[in-house]
Chains A and B, each alone.
Chain A
Amino acid sequence: MSSETKPASGVAKIARRTFLVSAGVVGGGVALGLALSPNRLKMYRDDVASDDEIILNTWVKLTPDNQLTVIIPHSEMGQGVGTGLAQMLAEEMEADWETVSIEQAPASDDYINSDLGRGYIVGEGARIPAFAYPMLDFAFLQIAKGLVGQITGGSTAIRLTGYHGMRRAGAAAREMLTRAAAKEWNVPVNALRAEASMIHHDASGRSASFGTFAAAAASFTPNLKPELKSAKDYKIVGTPKPRLDIPEKVTGEAQFGMDVIVPGMKYAAIAQAPVYGAEAVSIADPTNAAPQIVNLGNAVVVVADSYWEASNALRRIEIEWDGGDPSLTSDALRALHSAHLEETDHEEVMDKAGDAPAKLASPDTLSVEYAVPYLAHATMEPMNCTASVRDGKCELWVGHQNPITARDDAAEALGVNKSDVTIHNVYLGGGFGRRARTDNVIQAARVASEIGVPVKLIWSREQDMSNDFYRPAIVSRMKGLVEDGKIAAMDHAYIFADAGMPDSERPYAFQYDVQNKRIARHPYESPIPVGAWRSVDFTQMGFFNESFMDEMAHRAGADPLAFRIAHKSDPRCRAVLERLADEARWGRPLTLGAAQGVAIVDSFEAIVGQVAELTIEDDNRVRLHRLTSVVDCGQVINPDSAEAQIHSSVIFALSAVFFGEITLENGQIVQQNFPDYDMVRLRNAPVQAVHFIKSDHPPGGLGEPGTPPVAPALTNAIYAATGKRIRELPLTRAGFSSV
C-alpha cells in the first residue's frame, strides 16, 4: 500500500479519489480492472505511524467473446458468496447472467481489508461478521475505533464488498463500455442502452456485445460514483440464481485444501501437545520405523510417503511432553467461572439505564444463573495445509478465511519476506471462524522448510477437535422484576472471555425496552484458546437473554410471544414477531400435542425470530418437529442461498444444543471425535420453514444470525412441554436427549 497519506489529527474526514484503472490482457482476453482505489481516509489517530490507506479492488474480466468473470475477494465456504457478489455486479453492469463466471481473488495486498474499510469510507455505516474479525489488521482497527458510532450492521461479503464495491464496480464498467460504444459509433452516450451484455443504439438499430468494446472501454477512467439502479428494476439481484460452485461439488471435482496434490509431495501427521502449553522434550522411536520426525516444540510431526504411514508411525513413537497445567478440569474451570462472577473489581459496565439495583432489591426479584460450555467448530474438513519451501520461496495451498494473514504469518515463521510467500486459496470444507486461524499454515510451512520437499499436513479428526479455538464457556446471572405485567428492571452479569468480537456489535444488549437495566461483564483469560464461533458472543447472549425473557413472561403470566412484542418498540422486530406468530401457527401447533417456544435475536443487522415445535418422548427424548424462522435481513440478494444459510445456522446451533460440550480432564480435551461430540443428522433434523420479510433496507449479514435464537427457542419449548427450565447447555446436562 502506498504511504502517501499521512496520519492526520482531527475528526474523521473522508475524501474520495477517483478509481485507478489498470487494463491488461489476461488469459487471452481483455481485463477490465477496476480498482476503487485509493480512497483517502483521514482521521484521528494518535499512535500510528504507518499509513491508513484502504484499498478496494473489484475486478471484472471481460473477453472479446463476451464472457464475464467476476473476481471474488472472499473465500467460499458454503455460503454461496461468489454467486451473490457476482449477481450484484452483473445486475449493475446489465450483464447477461449466462455469461458470468467467478474466480477466487489472489491473496495479495491489493485485496487487503478493502471490503471492510470500504463501508466506512463511503460513510454508510457497516458492521463486520464474526469470521472476519481476525482479518482486521492494525490500520483497520484504528478506523473501527474512530468510527465506532457508525458501526451498525452487516456482513463483509454482501453488506460491504457487495453493496459498496461490487455494485459500483459493475455500474462503472457498464458506463465505460457505453462510453466506448458511443465513441466508436459517434453517438451520444445517453442514446445508448445496455442490456444482457449488449449495447444497443435504438435510433439506428445498431447493437454490439460488451466484448466488442472491452479493449476500448479499458482506456476510460471509471466513475467513482456511477449511477446505480433502483431496487425495483433488479432482474438478477433478488432472484434464486443457481450457485456457480455447486456442479463441481456433486461430481467430486471441487478442490478443497485436503485435495491438493503437489508433485513430489510427502504427507505429514501431527500430534500436538495434549496439555496446553506443554512441549515435546523427548521423542523415542522404539521400532525405528518412523520415516522422518520433526519436532515443532508444541507439536511433533511425522512425514512419510502416505498419510496412513505417517499416522501409523506417529502412533508408534513415544513422545514425552512437559509443561502446561495437567491438573486443569472442566469442573475446576466451572468453579473458577462462578468465582469470577462474584468478583466485581474488574467488572465492565456495558449498558446502564435508570436504577436497576434499587428496583431489584425487591423480594419479588427473580435471580437465575445460566451456563454454556466450550464448543468446537468441527468443520467437516479437518485442518490441513500443503506447503512447499524452496530457495527462500514458500508456496501454500489451503482453504482459508483469511489468506492474507495466513501468508504473513507463514512469512514471519520462516523469516522470509511476505512477497516470497504465495498462497493458493481453495475451497473450504466449512469455516465457521476456525479457518481464520493460521496454526495449521505455520506448521505446514515450518515442516516443508525443514524437510526440503513439499508436504501435505493433515490433522486427524482427533487433533482437530482437541486443538481448536473454542467458543468460550460462560456463566451468567440474570435478575429481573415484573411489575404490572412488564419488566420493571433487569440486571445481567456474566463472565467474559474475549473471542474477538468488537463491543460495537453490542452482543451484550438486552434487546427489549426496559427502563431500569444494568449489564456488566467480568473479563477473564480462558486457560484454553478461544475464538469466533458462528455468531460469536451472540450464541451465549442469545441463550441467556431469550431464556430469561421467557422466564419473565411466565412470571407475568403473559404469552411469551405477546410479551416480547410488548417490550419491543423497533417496528422491524415487531413485524418479525407478528409474522412469526402467523407462520409458525403460534398457539396452534401443527403437530398434535406439541409444545412451542419462541426466541428472537437481532445480530449482524439481521433480525431472526424462531419458533420451535416439539414433543417429548419416553426417556426425555426430544423430538423437534418443526423450526420456523422469520428473517428480516434487509434486501435479499439470492433467496435460495439465503434460505440455505438459515437452514445451516439452525442445524449448527441444534448440534450444539443437543450434544455440544467440550470438557477437560487432566488438562486435556476429553472429546476426540464425532461419537463424543455428536452432530444432528437427517434423523433428528427438524422440518424447517424459512420466511423472509420483504424489505428495502440495505442487506444485512446472513451467515450467522440464524444461529443465536435456536437454543432458547428450543429450551423455551421444553419448558412449555414439561415445566422444566433449562439454564445450562447442552440438553444432556438436564437429562434430555435427542430422538
Chain B
Amino acid sequence: MKISFVLNGEATTVDAPSDMPLLWVLREKLELTGTKFGCGIAACGACTVHVNGVATRTCVLPASVIDGAEVKTIEGVASPSGEMSAVQAAWIEHQAPQCGYCQSGMVMAAEALLDENPDPTDEDIDNAITNICRCGTYERVRTAIHAAARARREG
C-alpha cells in the first residue's frame, strides 16, 4: 500500500506491505539505517523513533499505522544545518557510546523523555529508558540525560 507521512519534517510517500514494520520501511525502503534492529519484539529499544512525538518501538509497528503521522528518526534530530541537539551534544560531551549500536534508540528515548519531562529524576530516567545496551553505557547515558536536561532548561 501507499503510505504517506511526514518524515523528519518532509512529506514522504512510500510503497510497502501494510504489515511491514516501520523499522524495515525506514531501513530498507527509505534507506535510513540509523534506526537499528535488535530484537524484533519490542524488547530492546534499538528501533526507537518518535511517532507524533512519542518514543515508539518500530520493529512491531505496522507501516499502515503511520499513514498521516509525523515520524522523527535519529537522522532528523540534528538541525538541518547539522547542529546537534542538546541530547546529542551531551552524549558526545560525556562520551556515552561504545559500540554505538544501541545509541540511536537511546538518544530517541532520551529526547522524548526530555520533551515530556524537562527535569527528570533518576527514577524518571529508570522508568522511561528501558533500552538495552550490551556495552553497558548506562552510567554515562544517565549523566548525559541530566546534562542535556540542564542544557535545554538553560538554553
Q: Is A251 an interface residue (CB 8 A)?
A: yes
A303 vs B28: C-alpha distance when bound (angstroms)? 14
Choose from B132, B137, B138 the contact partner of A674 (Cβ within 8 Å): B132
Q: Is B50 an interface residue (CB 8 A)?
A: no
Q: Shortest beta-carbon distance, A503 to chain B, in Å?
A: 29
Q: Is A221 an interface residue (CB 8 A)?
A: no
B29 neighbours in A (Cβ, 8 Å): 306
Question: Which interface residue of B20, B99, B135 has the most chain A CB atoms within 10 A?
Answer: B99
B75 neighbours in A (Cβ, 8 Å): 251-252
Q: Is A160 an interface residue (CB 8 A)?
A: no
Q: Is B43 an interface residue (CB 8 A)?
A: yes
Whether the Cβ atoms of B140 and A644 lie closer than 8 Å is yes
Interface-lining segment among A14-22, A84-92, A377-385: A377-385
Q: Shortest beta-carbon distance, B113 to chain A, in Å?
A: 11
Whether the Cβ atoms of A681 and B28 lie closer than 8 Å is no
Q: Is A243 an interface residue (CB 8 A)?
A: yes
Whether the Cβ atoms of A79 and B98 lie closer than 8 Å is yes
Task: Enumerate A456-505 residues with CB–CB distance to B below 8 Å.
Answer: 458, 460-461
A307 vs B25: C-alpha distance when bound (angstroms)? 10
A252-280 to B contact mask, C-beta < 8 Å, 1/0:
11111011010000010000000000000
CB nearest neighbor in B for A688: B139
Q: Shortest beta-carbon distance, B80 to chain A, in Å?
A: 13
Choose from A247, A461, A647 the contact partner of B40 (Cβ within 8 Å): A461
Q: Is B151 an interface residue (CB 8 A)?
A: no
Given A258-B33, A682-B138, A685-B138, also A78-B44 (CB < 8 A): no
B78 neighbours in A (Cβ, 8 Å): 251
B133 neighbours in A (Cβ, 8 Å): 380, 651
Given A380-B99, A429-B36, also A647-B107 (CB < 8 A): no
CB nearest neighbor in B for A252: B34
Given A261-B31, A380-B46, A461-B38, also A250-B103 (CB < 8 A): yes
Whether the Cβ atoms of B37 and A258 lie closer than 8 Å is yes
A261 neighbours in B (Cβ, 8 Å): 31, 33
A640 vs B39: C-alpha distance when bound (angstroms)? 30
B53-81 to A contact mask, C-beta < 8 Å, 1/0:
00000000000000000000111011000
B38 neighbours in A (Cβ, 8 Å): 380-382, 461
Counting contact residues on chain A (CB < 8 A from B), the size range is 35 or more
Given A77-B99, A380-B132, A380-B133, also A252-B21 (CB < 8 A): no
A640-677 to B contact mask, C-beta < 8 Å, 1/0:
11001001111110000000000000000000011100
Q: Is A206 an interface residue (CB 8 A)?
A: no
CB nearest neighbor in B for A461: B39
B97 neighbours in A (Cβ, 8 Å): 78, 246, 249-250
Choose from A245, A428, A430, A674 the contact partner of B43 (Cβ within 8 Å): A674
A651 neighbours in B (Cβ, 8 Å): 133, 135-136, 138
Q: Shortest beta-carbon distance, A376 to chain B, in Å?
A: 11
Whether the Cβ atoms of B99 and A430 lie closer than 8 Å is yes
A242 neighbours in B (Cβ, 8 Å): 92, 95
A674 neighbours in B (Cβ, 8 Å): 39, 41, 43-44, 132
Q: Is A308 an interface residue (CB 8 A)?
A: yes
Choose from A76, A255, A458, A641 the contact partner of B37 (Cβ within 8 Å): A458
Q: Is B116 an interface residue (CB 8 A)?
A: no
Whether the Cβ atoms of B136 and A379 lie closer than 8 Å is no
Whether the Cβ atoms of B101 and A430 lie closer than 8 Å is yes
Whether the Cβ atoms of A648 and B130 lie closer than 8 Å is no
Question: Which interface residue of B43, B96, B97 has the most chain A CB atoms within 10 A?
Answer: B97
Whether the Cβ atoms of B35 and A685 lie closer than 8 Å is no
B101 neighbours in A (Cβ, 8 Å): 256, 379-381, 427, 429-430
Q: Is A314 an interface residue (CB 8 A)?
A: no
Q: Is A309 an interface residue (CB 8 A)?
A: yes
Whether the Cβ atoms of B20 and A679 lie closer than 8 Å is no
Q: Is A680 an interface residue (CB 8 A)?
A: yes
Q: Is B150 an interface residue (CB 8 A)?
A: no
Whether the Cβ atoms of B37 and A252 lie closer than 8 Å is no
Whether the Cβ atoms of A251 and B77 lie closer than 8 Å is yes
CB nearest neighbor in A for B145: A682
A641 vs B140: C-alpha distance when bound (angstroms)? 12
Whether the Cβ atoms of A640 and B95 lie closer than 8 Å is yes
Q: Shortest beta-carbon distance, B27 to chain A, in Å?
A: 8
B127 neighbours in A (Cβ, 8 Å): 683
Question: Which interface residue of B35, B104, B129 has the most chain A CB atoms within 10 A?
Answer: B104
Whether the Cβ atoms of A380 and B34 lie closer than 8 Å is no
Q: Shortest beta-carbon distance, A667 to chain B, in Å?
A: 24
Whether the Cβ atoms of A685 and B136 lie closer than 8 Å is yes
B33 neighbours in A (Cβ, 8 Å): 252, 255, 258-259, 261
Given A644-B95, A647-B140, A673-B43, also A250-B36 (CB < 8 A): no
Whether the Cβ atoms of B73 and A682 lie closer than 8 Å is no
A431 vs B135: C-alpha distance when bound (angstroms)? 10
Q: Shortest beta-carbon distance, B107 to chain A, in Å?
A: 6
Q: Is B2 an interface residue (CB 8 A)?
A: no
Q: Shortest beta-carbon distance, A657 to chain B, in Å?
A: 13
Given A308-B21, A380-B38, also A647-B74 (CB < 8 A): no
Whether the Cβ atoms of A644 and B40 lie closer than 8 Å is no
A77 vs B97: C-alpha distance when bound (angstroms)? 11
A673 vs B42: C-alpha distance when bound (angstroms)? 11
A208 vs B107: C-alpha distance when bound (angstroms)? 43
Whether the Cβ atoms of B39 and A428 lie closer than 8 Å is no
Task: Enumerate A208-258 residues with CB–CB distance to B below 8 Å.
Answer: 242-243, 245-256, 258
Whether the Cβ atoms of A247 and B92 lie closer than 8 Å is yes
B9 neighbours in A (Cβ, 8 Å): none
Whether the Cβ atoms of A252 and B39 lie closer than 8 Å is no
Given A249-B103, A652-B136, also A682-B36 (CB < 8 A): no
Supply 15 A–B pairs (Cβ within 8 Å), ascending by A.
A78-B97, A80-B98, A249-B103, A250-B91, A252-B73, A252-B104, A258-B37, A259-B33, A307-B28, A428-B99, A429-B101, A641-B95, A683-B126, A685-B138, A687-B139
List chain B positions with a Cβ less than 8 A from chain A.
17, 20-21, 24, 27-29, 31-41, 43-44, 46, 73-75, 77-78, 84, 88, 91-92, 95-104, 107, 125-127, 129-142
